[in-house]
Copies of this chain bind each other. A is one copy, B any other.
């Protein structure tokens, strides 16, 4: 509900400058800390500028487009008018980190017309929040531009200095990179991409092109995050750096014939977002990306539920069994899956993901083949009818797996039958996968066609009251507000990369992800690995998990998701049932979240309050360095006592040499207490605080 919407009368102020007459207009955030200025120069250039606490963080930066049809460059404008307004509303997410979200911003709509053809109209809509700025282009209905093809978007982000930056290479097809931490001037995306031999499919763009969400930190300690919100019917944005000026320019993912987007007015682009704060914790708490998305399009959300699940999955990764039916190692056979169902029921998990259940796995990887899976034909040793009944009798849901092999056309042909098949078998959640080159051939994971595809999946699944999490999709942009059945995505290097033979993961990875990938939405990171040397079933393997066990627990709190997997498999959990208790206890939906301390690349400590309960859960993680910290429990209720169960690294724990060394301590605490936590190298700490 919009609690206030006031149209302000703003006028562009005129300056006399040496070269050009210049008209400016500006607007500030409700708390006055962020100011956005729009600058219109007489030659037609239009730019925006952002300052934070009176320091410029985005220098004047260009706005505009190159269109292919009609063939025009939209970058010389004449001002038509300016509308201002403000909004302060509060809304309740279906699920989330907090139970209610304030959406409070000042809005400025700058209306311009093309200098060379006055019926070509364009509006730029700016929203200034207390912790950031969003802006989008609006092609209005009344413009002469009706159907149009975008060749390039000219949006720039002209940064004020050579910031420290957490980046991954720009790529049309994958976002599963390790993060690089360098100065802007040191970005070399080609070099970084070339060392990434764990990634099967790359489509890198250039040495200076990186992906968003891009996290930066200025020398003065200001944190800046650039991303986009509400990516619908438009390709994903990568950004290309001009190192001479530290200016990033939008680089949209092309389609099969090199065009970027096929559009029809009225159309509004995704929001370009700049989140800024001098506190790293506030970056993680920002709701700006979410606020810039539209409210839920799903009216009845009663069937949408956050979930915890285990899965027939990691045992294939480590070579205990196979996805495909061949010899006697097929993982997803009826008997095995029954054991998983039993385990889920025994330990209170909602679901069991089953990968490799359906025909096609023996012949698809890397083949760019269109018709692999039909999504309804189980392997002969997978008795889906019996398992449906069995799961139901145990109060557990099987989670469907739709690996598409990247063949989105084939998936779309099977949508209806596949989702009906799920309903017929009592399933309400699907994990989709897009491993491999995309079909339609020439399209990319992040091009407009695929962006539309992911939306179609969310919408079609919603018709069947099915929840979705996508693996290998485009980067999330807060669309889980609009499609709350779209619970989570992978779209980054997940915990599974601990099993990758070359670079694998690094201990700092999870301290960066919340500042980057997670700015767009929840990730199915699949924490919960309890076995660290991954040669359990294949003695030749040298891969290993690069955290301590306690850190695996802490990730359930530091990496927010409404859909959390316990990644390892039962026999490994059984070796550490005392630690497993935390995974059983930790909720997946929250009434409140406090990011207590954070520094990208170094550490994060987060506390969250269980949805509808008085209990809190805390996770603390560190990078490759050991860390001691004292956490004040002042977020707890007054006059209440909590039983704290502290799962922490043992004194001699070390991700490399002794990851399974942990200790579990219980004590009663109140809000006046503070806890001294000692995190090992690559370690973490997880705490449940149950109100007594």
Contacts and interface: CB of A to CB of B under 8 A. Distances in A.
A452 B449 CA distance: 20
Contact of A441 (B257, B369, B413, B416): B257
A441 B369 CA distance: 18
B440 A368 contact: no
A434 interface: no
B367 A147 contact: yes
Contacts of A367: 147, 264
Interface string A318-346: 00000000000000000000000000000
Interface string A151-185: 00000000000000000000000000000000000
A256 B449 CA distance: 14
Contacts of A413: 412-413, 415, 456
A254 to B, nearest CB: 11
A370 B455 CA distance: 14
A33 interface: no
Given A262-B369, A262-B370, A442 B256 contact: yes
Nearest to A264: B369
Contact of A368 (B262, B368, B415, B441): B262
Contacts of A262: 368-370, 441
Contacts of A456: 413
Nearest to A364: B147
Interface in A597-629: none
Interface in A364-421: 367-370, 409, 412-413, 415-417
A568 interface: no
A412 B411 CA distance: 11
A259 B368 CA distance: 12
Contacts of A257: 256, 441-442
A255 interface: yes
A443 B452 CA distance: 18
Interface string A431-470: 0000000001111000001001000100000000000000
Interface residues of A, number: 25
A652 to B, nearest CB: 51
Number of copies: 2
A255 B437 CA distance: 15
A147 B369 contact: yes
A409 B441 contact: no
Nearest to A410: B412
A440 B369 CA distance: 16
Secondary structure at chain A's binding surface: helix, strand, loop or mixed? mixed
A461 to B, nearest CB: 14
A409 B410 CA distance: 10
B147 A255 contact: no
A259 B440 CA distance: 13
A441 B441 contact: no
A63 to B, nearest CB: 26
Contacts of A415: 413
Contacts of A370: 262, 449, 452
Interface string A236-270: 00000000000000000001110100101000000
Interface in A56-93: none
Nearest to A452: B370
Interface in A81-113: none
A441 B264 contact: no
A255 B443 CA distance: 12
A147 B372 CA distance: 13
Contact of A255 (B149, B255, B442): B442
A264 B264 CA distance: 39
A690 to B, nearest CB: 49
Contacts of A442: 255-257, 440-442
Contacts of A264: 367, 369
A252 to B, nearest CB: 15
Contact of A412 (B149, B256, B409): B409
Contacts of A417: 416
7 closest A-B pairs by beta carbon, nearest first, are A440-B440, A256-B442, A256-B256, A147-B367, A257-B442, A442-B442, A412-B413
12 contacts: A257-B442, A262-B368, A262-B369, A370-B449, A409-B440, A412-B412, A412-B413, A413-B456, A440-B441, A440-B449, A441-B442, A442-B442
Given A256-B257, A256-B440, A256-B443, 11 more contacts: A147-B367, A262-B368, A262-B369, A262-B370, A264-B367, A264-B369, A370-B449, A370-B452, A409-B412, A416-B417, A440-B440
Interface of A: 147, 149, 255-257, 259, 262, 264, 367-370, 409, 412-413, 415-417, 440-443, 449, 452, 456
